[in-house]
Amino acid sequence: MARRDKRADIVNAGIHVFSRKGFSHCSVEDILQEAHVARATFYSYFDSKRDLFVELVDNITNTLYEIALRNMEDMPSNLQVLKERTANTIKELYQFFNQNLEFASIYIQEVMGMNPEIDNRVAAWQRRLAELISGLIRRGMDMGMFRRLDADIIGNLISGAIQHMGLNLFISGEDVDIPQAADAIADYLVYGLATR
């Protein structure tokens, strides 16, 4: 018989409980019941409910950044390839949220404004993503693909717009054609920056 990974059970239970009840309205006891572990087991892995929550937030933001970095680390040589990569990045980000709706629920309902440490972690991920996009914009301007503009402002705008749009798509509860949405957003972003 395979040995249970109790730490993973606790993390998964935390995802379920935080998404259902919210951070403020649940207790360690709720997580223990969901995970079917003893209190001592929980505290052998985490110091508090907050520590578990911080780990979940870090997992979410690191996964989202890795998706963006994997697709957008280097600058393609033409707009069509850039649009395809941008669409693929958005598609993967949205698929992550769609396949992990409990993660999305935690991110949407609980993350910002909960406490300064969590806010700082989320703001750091948003800065990293904006810096990645700003760097791509600068390279695109240097290559003559993009118009001259303030890369930092536009990088922040794009990273926020992609995130905001994705959250709205999944909050609505409607079926979303993720590839179609990603392609439309990428087309707008890439060709909106292109030289005219």
Is 146 in a helix, a strand, or coil? strand
CATH code for position 19 = 1.10.10.60
Q: Do 87 and 152 lie in a common domain? A: yes
Q: Do 132 and 59 lie in a common domain? A: yes
Residue 194 pairs in a beta bridge with: 146
Q: Do 138 and 183 lie in a common domain? A: yes
Residue 107: per-residue pLDDT: 66
Q: Do 30 and 54 lie in a common domain? A: no
Which of 46, 66, 83 lies at the terminal end of a domain, its last residue?
Answer: 46
The two tokens of residue 145 are 């693909």
The two tokens of residue 146 are 């993009």
Q: What is the pTM of this model?
A: 0.79
Question: What pLDDT, in 10s, does the model give residues 23-64?
Answer: 888 999 999 999 999 999 999 999 999 999 888 888 888 888
Quote the mean pLDDT of the chain.
86
**How large is the greatest C-alpha to C-alpha distance in the chain, in angstroms?**
64
Q: Do 41 and 95 lie in a common domain? A: no
- The range of the structural domain enclosing residue 1 comes to 1-46
Q: Do 60 and 38 lie in a common domain? A: no
Could you identify the residue written with the tokens 């697709």? Answer: 71
Closest CA to 54 of 136, 141, 114: 114
